[in-house]
Amino acid sequence: MDFTLITHYSWWFLTLCILLGAILAFLLYKNDKKLDEVNKFIKLTMFVLRMLSVSFIAFYLLSPFVKTITTTIQKPIIIIAHDNSESVLNYCKNNDYNLKLKELIASINQDFEIKEYSFGEKLQKGITEDYTDKETDIASALLEINENYYSDNVGALILATDGIYNKGNNPLYEAENMKFPIYTIALGDSSKIKDLAIQTVKYNNLVFLNNTFPLQVNLSAVKLKGEQTILSVYSGKKQLFRQNIIIDTDNYFKKINIELKAEKTGIIPLNIVVKTIKSEKNKNNNSKQIIVEVVDTKQKILILANSPHPDIAAIRESLKTNLNFETEYSLVRDFNKSIKKYNLVILHQLPSKTNAATSIFKQINNANIPALYILGKQSDLAKLNQLNKGLRIVKGSGTFDNVQGRLETEFKLFELNKNISEIAIQAPPLLSPFGEYRTPADAEILFYSTVKGIETKRPLIYFNNFKLSSNLKNGFVTGEGFWRWKLYDYKLNQNHFLFDEFINKTVKYLTLKVSKDRFKVKAEKIIQENRNVIFDAEVYNKSYELVVKEDVKLLIKDSEGKTYNYIFDKAGKTYTLDAGEFLPGNYSWTAETLIDEKANKKQGEFTIVPLNIEADNIVANHKLLYQLASRTGGNIVYPETMQSLKDSIISNNNIKPISYSEKKTEDFINIKFLFFVILLLISAEWLIRKLYGTV
């Protein structure tokens, strides 16, 4: 530490301060006859004490201050990230890896600052050695480490793993952002072994009653040429499918397509099993369990049009991507069915100038069915205004504007990918009636119209807001030609995902019935075993306003009858509960609360699905570890030579301590130590004078 005393006055003033102290002490003790018989040494001591105390006090009048410079040496940080996933369990337990890692840490602890972490599903502080993580996300661990130590003196990251990741991005992408080398410890065995495995099963979670639904099983086999096996699908003990498999190559791979029939509603667990072969080394990946939910209703959508139009084809194709929707299309002049069986009616340019469709609108009103109105050149705006559906277009001249869409970022009715905004503003324009648009005050605008680059407050797509006391919803698209959005989506992205999402979410919102129930509980039905079970609840008063007053209790029961009791947390105007993780199996739940002093109950069920992806692949990916090390300036070692990392790190000239200085300026008078020095001088002088009777 460097210490400097500074004052704004010349240092000659310090001599004057000492001189002042000496003069005052001399005048005091020269003619003090009480001290005539006191030893000269004692008198000299009192003289010096008085001189010093006066000189110090005089020096304070010069307003001195102290400048200090403190230099700190910071050791390089060595971060150790250890794989705690199931895939390294056997290797680490059988190869003294944990002991060798501790020896490595002890050997470098004196020269470096050590930070220890474990990773698998997520990054955690400290080295954990239970190897229970069900997933491995190396990229996320690298990202979090890089963010946490971005501005620190990190010398290196030691990454101990088998290189197998089954969650997140490719770790090489995250390694490109690292400013320090990665030294990898290669765990596991990278040699190919005899293995028969169900790699993946592709399927739809939602299935409809009495419909067939497909499964695609991807089966692989390594070094098992000439062997035979059997692939089966079970629901409980009932076998639903069986197929003999002959393995004809050492690198066998086959996609097996299976058609099953949904025969009952509810959550249906299915076990896909391939018969094990005696010579294979890993038998943990010979089965997979999936869960499908079978429901017995589809949302029925009716599209009525004044005449054929490309918009209708675009809507129908998008709705085909959602298995929950069943779509019918008809020209209005040909339609003669009952409206009551439909959940939503899409009205393309109706009422029109040639067809008022009076009976259709009467049926819609009587059945209280939501509707989506799409306007265009054929629309009769006067008749539309008379329907009182929430939109009025007045002062129109019969002309039309070419308009683009401008996404309203504060739209709250449902989430939509914000990239749809680029399509709406850049795609060829829609044709929209000119006029003054009048909408309810609580209208929810999804897109506003932009006319020739000028932003307007005219709604292009909007929805009437609604109260819980009514389940009627209406939506409006105030222009024709949005089939062009579908084509432009393909031009930008080589697919129709954004447009399909826009159509499906619009229809899903309009078909979703508003429950008048005053007690609602939401919970997922199918949950992976490493995920927490989350419940949300809402309670309404008679005016259908959210209230948080009484406790909401929850009871969860497993298949063996064991029960778990909880009470929801009150969060703002709603209730929430994190019940934590559960073991794989089937569970039922009952939620209960009081509303107006009456008991209200809700019941449901959920299934925890076992997660065994760590067993799918046990062949270590040492190539990835080599790439991580070489691209960042580190190197790869094996547990047997783990101690060589110490020499590699020490010999790296880029890994070295850094020093930084901290400057601090403080008024001299604020140094408490000096105050006590002056107090000590004065007190010592007073005590001596008191002792010799001169006070």
pLDDT at 695: 58
β-strand pairing of 266-274 with 195-202: unpaired
pLDDT at 3: 63
Give Cα separations from 51 to 11, 29, 333, 691 (angstroms): 18, 11, 117, 20
Task: Tell me, rounded to whole angstroms, the distance of Cα 277 from its chain centroid.
Answer: 41
> What distance in Å separates the CA atoms of residue 621 and residue 83, rounded to the nearest whole number?
13
> What distance in Å separates the CA atoms of residue 350 and residue 306, rounded to the nearest whole number?
6
> What distance in Å separates the CA atoms of residue 422 and residue 411, rounded to the nearest whole number?
16
**How many Cα neighbours within 13 Å face the side chain of 280?**
23
Residue pointed to by tokens 């946490």: 148
CB atoms within 10 A of CB 409: 7
Give Cα separations from 667 to 66, 437, 504, 564 (angstroms): 6, 71, 71, 64
pLDDT at 431: 96
> Where are the chain's structural domains?
2-70+664-691, 76-191+619-656, 195-293, 299-511, 519-609
Given a cut of 50, the residues of the chain with pLDDT beneath it are 467-470
Tell me if 184 sits within 8 A of 625, measured CB to CB. yes
Q: Among residues 265, 215, 219, 277, which one has the least CA distance to residue 240?
A: 215
Residue 495, class by beta-carbon neighbours within 10 Å (0-12 exposed, 13-18 middle, 19+ buried)?
A: exposed
Residue 643 sits at φ, ψ, to 5 deg, of -65, -20
> What distance in Å separates the CA atoms of residue 286 and residue 609, rounded to the nearest whole number?
16
> What distance in Å separates the CA atoms of residue 333 and residue 669, rounded to the nearest whole number?
98
Contacts 24+ apart (CB under 8 A), 39-44: 42/688, 42/692
617-668 per-position pLDDT tens digit: 778 899 999 999 999 999 999 988 888 998 898 888 888 888 777 777 777 6
487-528 per-position pLDDT tens digit: 999 998 899 999 999 999 999 889 877 666 889 999 988 888
> What distance in Å separates the CA atoms of residue 184 and residue 632, rounded to the nearest whole number?
11
Whether the bond into 181 is cis, omega within 30 of 0: no
Q: What distance, in Å, lies between the first and last C-alpha atoms of the chain?
A: 43
Give Cα separations from 406 to 433, 441, 460, 487, 497 (angstroms): 17, 19, 8, 18, 19
Architecture of domain 299-511: 3-Layer(aba) Sandwich (3.40)
Is the domain spanning 195-293 CATH 2.60.40.10? The answer is yes
pLDDT at 384: 93
Per the DSSP assignment, residues forming a β-bridge with 186 are: 161
pLDDT at 544: 76
547-581 per-position pLDDT tens digit: 999 999 999 999 999 999 999 999 888 999 999 99
Is the domain spanning 519-609 CATH 2.60.40.1220? The answer is yes
> What distance in Å separates the CA atoms of residue 175 and residue 165, rounded to the nearest whole number?
14
pLDDT at 464: 84
pLDDT at 553: 96
pLDDT at 297: 74
The b-or-e profile of 152-163 (16+ CB within 10 A means b, else e) is ebbbbbbbbbbb
- The three-state DSSP-derived secondary structure of 503-556 is HHHHHHHHHCCCCCCCEEEEECCEEECCCCCEEEEEEECCCCCECCCCCCEEEE
pLDDT at 2: 66
Same-fold call for 195-293 versus 519-609: yes
Tell me if 552 sits within 8 A of 592, measured CB to CB. yes
pLDDT at 168: 85
Instruction: Report the run of H or E that residue 646 belongs to, with start and end.
Output: helix 644-650
pLDDT at 677: 80
In words, the CATH class of domain 76-191+619-656 is alpha beta
Q: Helices (H), strands (E): how many in the chain?
A: 15, 37
pLDDT at 466: 55
